[in-house]
Structure 1
Amino acid sequence: MRRKLIAGNWKMNGSLAANGNLLASIKAGLPGSACDVAVCVPAVYLAQTQSELSGSKIAWGGQDVSAHESGAYTGEVSATMLRDVGCRYVIVGHSERRSYHNESDEVVARKALRAAASGLTPIICVGESLEERESGETDEVVARQIDAVLAVMDEESLKGVVVAYEPVWAIGTGKTATPQMAQDVHAFLRQRLGAKSVVAGEKVRILYGGSMKPDNAKELLSMPDIDGGLIGGASLKASDFLAIVNAA
């Protein structure tokens, strides 16, 4: 049985004061250990997050990581730096990184490999645009994206990753894939993982990352291959985030 994971992605939001209030509210309202909980915050707030969450049941992570170990890469953050501030997770290949920073499938795969080799759990994002969905290319697109990762990871490393299916057309638009639409893609991804490693196909958690909210979380999370959520806007409001955690 795969344990559910609810991970917040704050994107480029936050301040010292707002973060302190949000994290305190989440800690105070967190239920028992029904699922794993994490927040992925802007790099400048990782030290604050470590201070606020150390000793709690909430893990934390970065929103991106360099494919390089160290060196002359101004503005980049390495996997070892993220580990140094207590990160357990890091998001790689979010659609906004792919779109706004032109990250290729190969770059995303190298980042995932670097994160895993450094002891982080990469949350590897895949997903199709509205045009690709309407053209019937969903399976082709997500297969290409996940296959780039499968090509560089061995079976042992692969068992430790998390995958997040985020239909690009459902991010920040208020649109959401129906539970069955999401389940179909999750099942396809699980089959793809299983073709590389039977154990990975069974163990890897696949999160849904397209506008999961308190009012649709329970139905989405009831699908057999949806193992949690990568939560955007709803992770910035403690009551909404906690309602999704409770739904898991």
Structure 2
Amino acid sequence: MRPFIVANWKMHGLKADMNEVKAIDSAAAKFDHIDVGIGLPATLIHLAAQNAGHAQIGAQDCHQAQQGAHTGCLSAAMLSEAGASFSIVGHSERRADQAETSRLIAQKARSLQNASMGAILCIGEDLATRQSGTALDFVAGQLVESLALADDTSLSPERLTIAYEPIWAIGTGHVPELTDIAAMHSKLRSQLVSSFGPAGDAIRILYGGSVKASNAKDILALKNVNGALVGGASLKAESFVPIIAAA
């Protein structure tokens, strides 16, 4: 399975930062056995797609509808036309700040798949859940809810990537023990196989949460960790490219 290393720039990035995109793209060409993605603010997608020939250019969210009276929103078709080949959906910051539910996230991921785009579906637990000892079952349940397998928004295993991000580790510098990461990814793999059968073995599961050059190699060496979703360390090529190299 090819590793997938994805940058999530969040609400960062102006035209002046296109040199960072170009540098990441050059690294993607060098490490041609690794898939590299850059989740950009919508304002940079078109320009980045014009300047990147090796890294996949993506978005950070999309609306669940194909079109309609949704002021300020962007559909999967619009993002695709701009040059995006995937989008992140269900990031914990959107689940918290925009009160997004797993049901809504499933609809968004389905809209991406319908537009022949990839969906990186994020799941993860907060600190209280981790400390309660229920994190494994909580996150697996969140995954099932976000797959919406029981209704007409059900997701396909094709063009689907899962990103596990312990909320308490995002941007804090705190990282779970390697054994905890391995246990969570094993639980998620079992759930994917239960949900999709053998096709669940081919779905990549990324780890995210304070990934940096100093810890990436050990994290990426774990079984069922098929890549990383990287936040702060992805804003500069000098800190992101070593994570690509670690894969």
TM value normalised by structure 1:
0.94
The answer to whether structure 1 residue 137 and structure 2 residue 134 are counterparts is yes
| Equivalence map 1:103-118=2 (5 Å) | 103-118=100-115
The answer to whether structure 1 residue 218 and structure 2 residue 217 are counterparts is yes
The answer to whether structure 1 residue 121 and structure 2 residue 92 are counterparts is no
Partner AA of 1:16 in structure 2: K
Q: Residue in 2 aligned with 1:82?
A: 79
- The two structures, once aligned, show a CA RMSD in angstroms of 1.3
CA distance in 2 between counterparts of 1:143 and 1:177 reads: 17
The answer to whether structure 1 residue 15 and structure 2 residue 6 are counterparts is no
Partner AA of 1:208 in structure 2: Y
Where in structure 1 are there 5+ consecutive unaligned residues? none
1:141-193 per-position Cα deviation (integer Å, ceiling 9, x unaligned) = 212211123334657x2232000000000001110112221111111011001
CA distance in 2 between counterparts of 1:200 and 1:110 reads: 21
* 1:159–1:199 contact (8 Å) kept in structure 2: no
Count of residue pairs brought into register by the alignment: 243
Where in structure 2 are there 5+ consecutive unaligned residues? none
The answer to whether structure 1 residue 97 and structure 2 residue 76 are counterparts is no
Q: Residue in 2 aligned with 1:232?
A: 231
- Alpha carbons of 1:154 and 1:104: their partners in 2 closer, same or farther (altered >3 Å)? closer
* 1:128–1:167 contact (8 Å) kept in structure 2: yes
1:29, distance to aligned residue in structure 2 (A): 3.7
| Equivalence map 1:18-37=2 (5 Å) | 18=17, 20-30=18-28, 31-37=30-36
1:147 maps to which of 120, 135, 144 = 144
* 2:102–2:142 contact (8 Å) kept in structure 1: yes
* 1:167–1:209 contact (8 Å) kept in structure 2: yes
TM value normalised by structure 2:
0.94
Q: Which runs of 4+ in 1 moved over 4 A?
A: none
1:198, distance to aligned residue in structure 2 (A): 2.1
Partner AA of 2:2 in structure 1: R
* 2:7–2:38 contact (8 Å) kept in structure 1: yes
* 2:8–2:231 contact (8 Å) kept in structure 1: yes
1:87, distance to aligned residue in structure 2 (A): 1.2
CA distance in 1 between counterparts of 2:233 and 2:58 reads: 17
CA distance in 1 between counterparts of 2:27 and 2:51 reads: 15
| Equivalent position SS for 2:119 | strand
- Alpha carbons of 1:237 and 1:182: their partners in 2 closer, same or farther (altered >3 Å)? same
